[in-house]
C-alpha cells in the first residue's frame, strides 16, 4: 500500500440489516440503527471459542448489549448493577472485538460473585481484586483475538497489540514457547497486565484516588462517611479463584501469593502520598482510624504526571469511565456486605 493510499479515508463498514445474532443477546437498550453493528460484532467474536464462551455467559445471565451515548471516553464497560455491556461507537470494529470479549468477561466475573465495591475491602485487597479482574479480562480479550487470527482474521489481534504492547508481548512470548494457547500462556498473559505502569496508575486514580478525593470533599461539606475500608479483606488466592475460572478449570497455574508483592501490588509514589493524605484527613474529620493495609504496599516511581485534584480539593466532575460512578459503588458496597453476612 502506498502512502497516498494509506492516507485516504476508509470506507465505513456496511452491516447486514437482516443478520441475526448467533448468541441470543438482549438488545432492548441498543438503538435500532446500532443493532446491525452490534450483531456483526457479536457474530465475529463468536467465531472464537473463548469469545463465544464469554458472550454466552453474559447473554444467559441477562446482560443487555448496547453502545454508549456520545461523549463517553472509555472503549467499553460492564455494569453489575444495571446488568449491561456497552461499547464506544467511535472505536473501530477491530478494537471493539477485544473490548466486547473483555467486558463480557467482566459480566462472567460478576456472575461468579465478583464486585467492584469501593471502600468495603481494605486498600490492599482492593488492589489485588480489581487488578486481577482487569488482568483476567484482558487475558480473555487477547486470547479471543488470537483465536480469530489463527482463522485468518488478524485485525483484532493487530489492534490489541498496538493498544496493549506489554500484554501482547507476554502473550506472544509464552505462545511461541508453548506453540498453542493453553493455561501457561494465559497465566503469563495475566501477569503481563502488571507490566503496564501507566495503566496501573490510571486504575489507581479511577478506583482508589478519585473516590477518596470525593469522600474527603463530601466529609468537608458535612456529609457522612461512605468509604470505610477494613471491613473486608481478600487475598490473591480467593481473587484468582474467582477471576481465573474457565470451564476446563482455573487457568492460573502459578502460586497466587505472587500477586501479593512486587509489581503485582505496587503503587505509584503519588498514589501512596494520596493514601496517606486521605487517611490522615479522614481521621481529622471523623476520628476513623487509618487502613493499616497500606503499610504492606510496595511503592514504585511515578510514571506519569499528576492529572487530578489533590486529596482535600474539589473532585473533578468527569469520571474516567462510567464504571467509576460512585452511586453505583455505594449500591455494590451494600450488596457485598450482605453477601458476606456482615
Domains and CATH numbers, the chain: 20-111 (3.30.2010)
Is residue 317 very low, low, confident or very high in pLDDT (cuts 50, 70, 90)? Answer: confident
Contacts of 269 (CB under 8 A, 6+ apart): 299, 300, 301, 302
3-state per-residue secondary structure call for 16-82: CCCCCCCCCCECCCCCHHHHHHHHHHHHHHCCCHHHHHHHHHHHHCCCEEEECCCCCCCCEEEECCC
Least confident of 152-166, 230-244, 315-329: 315-329
Q: Degrees (nearest 5) of the Cα angle 5, 11, 16?
A: 145
Least confident of 100-109, 260-269, 325-334: 325-334
Question: Which position has the higher pLDDT, 331 or 141?
Answer: 141
User: Which residue has cell 496501573?
Assistant: 200
Is residue 10 very low, low, confident or very high in pLDDT (cuts 50, 70, 90)? Answer: low
Write down the pLDDT at residue 59. 98
The pLDDT tens digits of the residues spanning 14-27 come to 999 999 999 999 99
For residue 62, report the phi and psi dihedrals to the nearest 5 degrees.
80, 20
3-state helix, strand, coil in the chain (%, to 5): 55, 5, 40
Query: Is the CB of residue 270 less than 8 Å from the CB of residue 306?
Result: yes
Q: Is the dihedral of CA 27, 31, 33, 34 positive or negative?
A: negative
The pLDDT tens digits of the residues spanning 62-88 come to 999 999 998 888 999 999 999 999 999
**Beta strand pairing status for 267-268 and 299-300?**
parallel
What is the average pLDDT value for the chain, to the nearest integer? 90
Amino acid at each position: 500500500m502506498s502512502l497516498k493510499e494509506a492516507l485516504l479515508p476508509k470506507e465505513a463498514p456496511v452491516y447486514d440489516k437482516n443478520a441475526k445474532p448467533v448468541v441470543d443477546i438482549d438488545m432492548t437498550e441498543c438503538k435500532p440503527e446500532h443493532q446491525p453493528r452490534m450483531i456483526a460484532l457479536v457474530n465475529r467474536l463468536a467465531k472464537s471459542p473463548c469469545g463465544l464462551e464469554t458472550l454466552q455467559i453474559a447473554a444467559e445471565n441477562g446482560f443487555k448489549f448496547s453502545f454508549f451515548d456520545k461523549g463517553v471516553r472509555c472503549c467499553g464497560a460492564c455494569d453489575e448493577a444495571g446488568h449491561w455491556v456497552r461499547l464506544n461507537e467511535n472505536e473501530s470494529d477491530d478494537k471493539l472485538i477485544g473490548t466486547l470479549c473483555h467486558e463480557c468477561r467482566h459480566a462472567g466475573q460478576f456472575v461468579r460473585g465478583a464486585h467492584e465495591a469501593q471502600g468495603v475491602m481494605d486498600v490492599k485487597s482492593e488492589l489485588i481484586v480489581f487488578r486481577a479482574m482487569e488482568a483476567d479480562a484482558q487475558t480473555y480479550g487477547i486470547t479471543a483475538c488470537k483465536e480469530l487470527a489463527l482463522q485468518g482474521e488478524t485485525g483484532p489481534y493487530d489492534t490489541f497489540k498496538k493498544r496493549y504492547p506489554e500484554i501482547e508481548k507476554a502473550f506472544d512470548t509464552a505462545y511461541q514457547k508453548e506453540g498453542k494457547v493453553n493455561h501457561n500462556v494465559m497465566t503469563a498473559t495475566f501477569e503481563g497486565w502488571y507490566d503496564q505502569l501507566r495503566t496501573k496508575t490510571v486504575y489507581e486514580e479511577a478506583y482508589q484516588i478519585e473516590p477518596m478525593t470525593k469522600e474527603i470533599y463530601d466529609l468537608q461539606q458535612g456529609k457522612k462517611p461512605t468509604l470505610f475500608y477494613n471491613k473486608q479483606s481478600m487475598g490473591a488466592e480467593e481473587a484468582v479463584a474467582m477471576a481465573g475460572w474457565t470451564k476446563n478449570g482455573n487457568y492460573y497455574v502459578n502460586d497466587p501469593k505472587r500477586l501479593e508483592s512486587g509489581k503485582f501490588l505496587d503503587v505509584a509514589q503519588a498514589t501512596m502520598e494520596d493514601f496517606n493524605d486521605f487517611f490522615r484527613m479522614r481521621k481529622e474529620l471523623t476520628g476513623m482510624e487509618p487502613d493499616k493495609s497500606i503499610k504492606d504496599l510496595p511503592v514504585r516511581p511515578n510514571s506519569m504526571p499528576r492529572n487530578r485534584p489533590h486529596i482535600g480539593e474539589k473532585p473533578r466532575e468527569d469520571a474516567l469511565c462510567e464504571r467509576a460512578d460512585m452511586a453505583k459503588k455505594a449500591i455494590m458496597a451494600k450488596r457485598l456486605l450482605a453477601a458476606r453476612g456482615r
